[in-house]
Amino acid sequence: MSTVRLKKGFDIHLLGEINGQEVAFSSPAKSVAVVPDDFHGVIPRMEKKEGEHVAAGEPLYHDKNYEDIKVVAPVSGTVTEVRRGERRHIDAIVIAPEGNDAVTIDVKGDAMQVLCASGLWAMLRQRPYDVVPVPGVHPRDVFVTAFDSAPLAPDLDVVLGDKRQYIAKGVEVLNKFTDGKVYISIREGQSIDAPGAEVNTFVGPHPAGNAGVQAANLAPVGKGDVIWTLDIVTLARIGELFTTGKVSHDTVVAVNGEMVQEPRYVKTVMGADLATLLKNNLTDASASRIISGNVLTGVKVELEGWLRAPYRHITVIPENNKPDEFMGWASLNPKRYSIYRTFTTWLGGLKKPVSMDSRIKGGERAIVRTGEYDAMLPMDIYGEFLIKAIISGDIDKMEQLGIYEIAPEDFALAEFADTSKLELQHIVRVGLDKLRAEMS
């Protein structure tokens, strides 16, 4: 075990933190949904139609290009709607929960086929490109993050609960796919019993909890390399599958934020409807921004929406309800927040929880070389130059500047700090997709 100390980055402290580790039980979900956009790189081809019954763990659709990759139903019930958007894009597959039917998987066969059939393959991510891995391509190494450093993020030890017993089996399974190492990264004071894995401690501010940042500081990704990333909860699910033959879709989520009356951990099912999870727990639903995930990388959802698959977190902050603040950016209000010394907030320290709403507070403007991106990115790349290369579409420079190492989430903090107000995560996503198309 080694300790990696990161100096770059920044911790954002928001109101609405959970006190304690007690887990409450949610009411049964009235509806559950799977959103295909959560599994980037998978082009859905439906296997179930509206009105058909589906068992928990039964495939809803498969990937157009790799039919072995399945995305499965988290509950048993009836497919009530296949919601489509523009150009018949599948926005969501909605299930009305009913019964307890569940699929049992034969885990004695090929490990890749088992993971693909169970739906857990779709929960893995591959770098380069930050997509669901291509079957048959073995990773150089596998990186597992055991903590989340994002604002108001849940304690993954609480989310794990009694699933911790399956970690060792999960490591054993992942070691079958790689000739390299399975790395597990923990934070200071945390402990993990994982024979067969190399455990490293990370100390430092966000984004220290990002698997990509951990990989960049342990064994960076070069051109031609392929690695997998996942979190410790997914690792435990893999271990449970190969122990019991079933996939558990139960999950514990953190429900917190300034607009939540009682921030708490809630046990529910993946894809549960938010109306049930947030029932009678919002101070003012009409003035709230509901985010599935954290405030940096999460997805804005409506109260009628669902918990998105990659997230174990629901954050609720004030909506943009003060668009015409007196004096605007020139305001001398001592409550104005900035990570720089623009306002007087820094005099009282930046570790005190503060109130933030959904306003951007500024307009898009040209990139200025200030070193902002690099200060928020603890990776050996030049963030500003890489973003410029992506915008200009210069593939050679993108490769030279380290695009194979990154995912959109790695630039989320830089996007928060960016005085140019650019959508850096979107820019990175477009760049990765363009590069993947060029290389395929």
Note the pLDDT tens digit of each residue in 298-307. Answer: 999 999 999 9
pLDDT at 323 over 70: no
Measured CA to CA, the distance from residue 65 to residue 136 in angstroms comes to 13
Work out the pLDDT band at 352, boundaries 50, 70, 90: confident
Question: What's the sign of the alpha-carbon dihedral 88, 93, 96, 102?
Answer: positive
Report the predicted TM-score, pTM, of the whole model to 2 decimal places. Answer: 0.95
Q: Please list the residues that pair with 44 across neighbouring strands.
A: 63
Mean per-residue pLDDT, 201-208: 97
Closest CA relative to residue 181, chosen from 167, 164, 200? 200
Q: DSSP character for 232?
A: H
Measured CA to CA, the distance from residue 138 to residue 5 in angstroms comes to 30
Q: How many Cα atoms within 13 Å fall on the side-chain side of residue 264? A: 15
Measured CA to CA, the distance from residue 255 to residue 16 in angstroms comes to 9
Is residue 367 within 8 A of residue 422, CB to CB? The reply is: yes
Q: What pLDDT shows up at residue 310? A: 86
Percent of the chain with pLDDT over 90: 86
172 membership: H or E segment, kind and range:
helix 167-174
Q: DSSP character for 50?
A: T
CA angle 186, 412, 336 (to 5 degrees): 105
Q: What pLDDT shows up at residue 328? A: 66
Measured CA to CA, the distance from residue 37 to residue 403 in angstroms comes to 22
Note the pLDDT tens digit of each residue in 27-52. Answer: 999 999 999 999 999 999 999 999 99
User: If you average pLDDT over every residue of the chain, what do you get?
Assistant: 94
Q: What pLDDT shows up at residue 1? A: 76
Instruction: Count the residues in the chain.
Output: 440
Measured CA to CA, the distance from residue 347 to residue 433 in angstroms comes to 43
Token pair, residue 125, equals: 């991510």
The amino acid sitting at 73 is: A
Q: What pLDDT shows up at residue 16? A: 97
Work out the pLDDT band at 329, boundaries 50, 70, 90: low
* Dihedral of the alpha carbons of 130, 131, 135, 140, in degrees to the nearest 10: 0
Is residue 93 within 8 A of residue 47, CB to CB? The reply is: no
* Dihedral of the alpha carbons of 208, 313, 310, 358, in degrees to the nearest 10: -80
Q: Please list the residues that pair with 144 across neighbouring strands.
A: 184, 230
Residues 6+ apart with CB under 8 A from 199: 1, 183, 184, 185, 186, 192
Q: How many Cα atoms within 13 Å fall on the side-chain side of residue 41? A: 24
Least confident of 44-48, 114-118, 275-279, 352-356: 352-356
Q: DSSP character for 429?
A: H
Residue appearing with tokens 């380069």: 128
Closest CA relative to residue 257, chosen from 357, 396, 157? 357
Q: What pLDDT shows up at residue 34? A: 98
Note the pLDDT tens digit of each residue in 357-367. Answer: 898 877 888 88
Closest CA relative to residue 227, chosen from 309, 119, 134? 134
Note the pLDDT tens digit of each residue in 373-384. Answer: 999 999 999 999
Residue appearing with tokens 């009305």: 96
Note the pLDDT tens digit of each residue in 11-21. Answer: 999 999 999 99
